Structure 1
């Protein structure tokens, strides 16, 4: 009986643990204060890729939305569209932040490195384009990736030597190489690495993403559909070119 009591007490000494982590979130940029227009836009995107966007978390950037924002209405509209609002960004005014927090939004700011009191101080903070150091050897998948499967190559590249079916999802913190047909979703640079690249022999994807920048299938030009391509980040936006063999 004594031993049992000691074991239970030891088990209860640590009930939770709070750790830092990072996740890739979609960001909705409001170009004005028209909440209905933003909600309609979200609904259109979700209909195109419901498996990816439905019930997915989203951050709302309000930097261009003005000061007259009904945050309660905004929250309801995002939920009604089919996504889960988790926070706002682009808000520096304390009054707006208080309104957003009262509506249940977290206040989120993009991470950036700030250097103070140095002769080489930059006048504008820029995202790092350096590849992740200490990356592990690539994860190699030789079998087809079936619909409903998700493969994540944490802190390394991902190489698929087969096809990726519609409804499947492949994710890598580094680059992604697909030596078959890509019909599902491919997300490279999941930890924000702007040097990440997607190499694909046959592009027919539902969604492609590099460092959080994504295109749905309707954003891919016809000249690249079904072709070998290289997808990367140029000037902070997605860029696509033919794969030279």
Structure 2
């Protein structure tokens, strides 16, 4: 036994359960050209939103043949667009064998909280992947996370269990996420994702809407769509009938 082990030195790491927002891609069939063309179109709708995101390939609705699944091609296409495929969910034994050969993690369906399936227009899906070691949530109310400093370009602020309150501007290129509502007491110029666990009653409030992207429970609008609805004014954004609705705060 080494001296380090016998003297009880501190371990170099610890394993803990985590709740991580991830994007799920529900694959119906795989054709490399069609796959990349569709991926380009999604990225064009929300430039920068998908950069460096972890992606889970969902095979629960896959209709193609197993021999058409080429995870190495999928991984390569996604990497060219700065998206990282980390695992596969669902599928049969043949699908799982192909995923293992590509060094992808196998994610049980029960480990993921379901989200509405993606649609062609203005919708993304984010999911929580929880390890078995995750601690159950307490029944008591979760306090809001309060941020008093500006959220600068390249920064990400995440409230995984409740509301997020920001008493300062959110700069372009920044990203704020919350399980509940998001309140920005200043200009919202970056990306805001509320209800990331699927809470469709979540809302986004801001003093000046200048966002690159706003999302609630996976439904989103990009800046081009928002500029005709309360742009650079105080608004709230909520989900109604699967559509994001922007309302001036003085008329809410």
TM above 0.5, one fold?
yes
Q: Match for residue 118 of structure 1?
A: none
* Partner deviation per Cα, 1:54-110 (whole Å, 9 max, x = no partner): 222111234245223222222222222221111223x33222222222222223326
Distance (Å, rounded) in 1 between the aligned partners of 2:236 and 2:144: 18
CA distance in 1, matches of 2:6, 2:230: 61
- Structure 2's unaligned 5+ residue stretches are 115-136
Structure with larger RCO (C-alpha < 8 A, sep 6+): 2
Unaligned runs of 5+ in 1: 114-130
Is 1:37 the counterpart of 2:34? The answer is: yes
Tell me if the contact between 1:160 and 1:177 (Cα under 8 Å) persists in the aligned partners.
yes
Aligned-residue CA RMSD (Å): 3.3
How do residues 52-63 of structure 1 correspond to structure 2 at under 5 angstroms?
Answer: 52-62=49-59, 63=61
- 37-46 vs 183-192, greater mean Cα deviation: 37-46
Q: Residue 27 in 1 paired to residue 32 in 2?
A: no
Task: Report the equivalent of 2:190.
Answer: 184
Q: Which has the larger radius of gyration?
A: 1
Say which SS state the counterpart of residue 18 (structure 2) adopts. coil
Change (3 A) 1:154 1:32: closer
**1:160 Cα deviation (Å)?**
2.5
- CA contact under 8 A between 1:40 and 1:81: conserved in structure 2? no
Q: 2:24 aligned with 1:18, yes or no?
A: no
Partner of 2:85: helix, strand, or coil?
strand
Change in Cα spacing, 1:208 to 1:151, as seen in structure 2 (3 Å) is: same
Q: Match for residue 247 of structure 2?
A: 242
Aligned counterparts of 1:211 and 1:132: Cα–Cα separation in 2: 22
Distance 1:103 1:7, change over 3 A: closer
Q: How many Å separate the matches in 2 of 1:169 and 1:132?
A: 27
